[in-house]
Amino acid sequence: MEPLNDRRPDRRGFLRVAGLAGVSWLTPLGHWLARAADAPGKPSASARSIILLWLQGGPSQLETFDPHPGSAIAGGTGAIPTTEKGIQLATGLEHTAGEMASISLIRSMVSKEGDHERGSYTLKTGFRPDPTVVHPSVGAICCHELPAGGTDIPRHVSILSGQWPSRGGYLGAQYDAFQTGDPAGPVPDTSSDVSAGREQLRMKDLEVVEDAFARGRERRVEATLHRETVAGARRMMRSEQLRAFDVSREPLALRRSYGETPFGRACLAARRLTEVGVRCVEVTLAGWDTHANNHDQHRELLKTLDPAFAALIRDLRERGALERTLVVCMGEFGRTPTINRAGGRDHWPAGFSLALAGGGIRGGQVVGATDPEGKQEPANPVGVGDLHATLLAAVGIDPAKVNQTPIGRTVRFADGKPVSGLLG
């Protein structure tokens, strides 16, 4: 498997990449490059963007979306009621419990990968790592398949990026997630470090070099899309759409409802980004690898996750945008039903949980169930391929569409079928 490198597409990076392959969201050629379909026959869907809240490290299902209060496997973890009769969440998710009518839980996720890197790859792409092909993440597929529109900024964004950010895989590096940090700070490499006059001189000098290089090499120059890439990078630097990253433009009360944390600000920025045409925003909350002191660590993490997740759903709904925005909250696997000697839970891919909201997902329901004694296989198990088929179907993309990799291998977008009953 190709290493999942931290490759950050930024202004300087655009000009470093060998061949300067066209970046689909940067140029007027983007509609062609991304194969973004304004073409007749494109399936319609209510959802046009995905916000992925990535809980890096593998959150415990028992301390989040699948509590078993009073059982031995709970280890003392309590549960709270939600707005939906019969559905409980773990203590600490009080804000989220109030939004349960918009949320569906899958409590029977199963995967064959219990390693962090391999599990991250599997949950983000829908496939297990394979040395012969690097699969695209769901966000990359959305950018490849959905209309580019008039978006000048990256259409695939990762905020507070983790160790293994989402990538374009066989669709191309131009679909890798653009990585940035806490929205309280500036977007990296989007402003010039020299005066406007000097920048103009530099661009004129670059034009002289490009013209000289192009003589006798017209076809090679056209293939690199170098000029288009430079123009697109400069257009991004001047774009009004960069303001979508600036959450300080939002009312103070709204910002506080998300939580005054990097993750809360990132979730608010994610909502703003989808409003200007960004197709997928991945927001990472790290720290869930709780091999020791599991309960205390989860208790602290929920103080960050709970208000942000709930505020995002509520904010989207109040703006009339929840139906066209699919929100996914998940990690790479769950945690064991047993508690180890260090008071922690270890890796557990054999029955874990995630939450879905918006995007045509029917809220207020639960798919699958886990054994309260932690001994039996989950009821109505959902495979990772089925999850990805559901996500793609929600945004109007055919999960069974066959694609060809650069080496000629045929691969479907998802190796599964949409989960029955989830899609409205």
Q: Residue 108: is its pLDDT beyond 90?
A: yes
Mean pLDDT computed over 173-192:
86
User: Residues 154-165: pLDDT tens digits?
Assistant: 999 999 999 999
- Tokens linked to 99: 């939004």
Q: Is the pLDDT of residue 40 over 50?
A: no
Percent of the chain with pLDDT over 90: 72
The yes-or-no verdict on residue 215 having pLDDT over 60 is: yes
Q: Is the model's pLDDT at 141 over the cut of 70?
A: yes
How far apart CA 328 and CA 103 sit, in angstroms, is 10
Determine the average pLDDT of the residues in 10-36.
Answer: 35
Give the number of other Cβ atoms within 10 Å of residue 163's Cβ.
13
Q: What are phi and psi of 93, to 5 degrees?
A: -110, 40
Residue 124 CB burial class (10 angstroms; 0-12, 13-18, ≥19): buried
Q: Which domains does the chain have, with CATH numbers?
A: 49-189+244-412 (3.40.720.10)
Residue 105 pLDDT > 90, yes or no? yes
pLDDT at 36 over 70: no
pLDDT at 424: 77
Average pLDDT, the chain: 86
HEC profile for 322-359? CCCEEEEEECCCEECCCCCCCECCCEECCCEEEEEEEC
Lowest mean pLDDT among 12-21, 139-148, 190-199, 392-401: 12-21
Q: What is the pTM of this model?
A: 0.85
| pLDDT tens for each residue of 329-364 | 999 999 999 999 999 999 999 999 999 999 999 999
Question: Which amino acid is present at 362?
Answer: R
Predicted confidence (pLDDT) per residue in 55-68, tens digit:
999 999 999 999 99
DSSP 32-62: HHTT---STTPPP-S--EEEEEEEET---ST
**Per-residue pLDDT at 209:** 73
Given the DSSP bridges, would you call strands 382-383 and 365-367 parallel, antiparallel or unpaired?
A: unpaired
Query: In the prediction, which pLDDT does 186 show?
Result: 87
Q: What is the pLDDT of residue 2?
A: 37
Task: Report pLDDT for 22.
Answer: 35
Residue of 130 and 9 predicted with greater confidence: 130
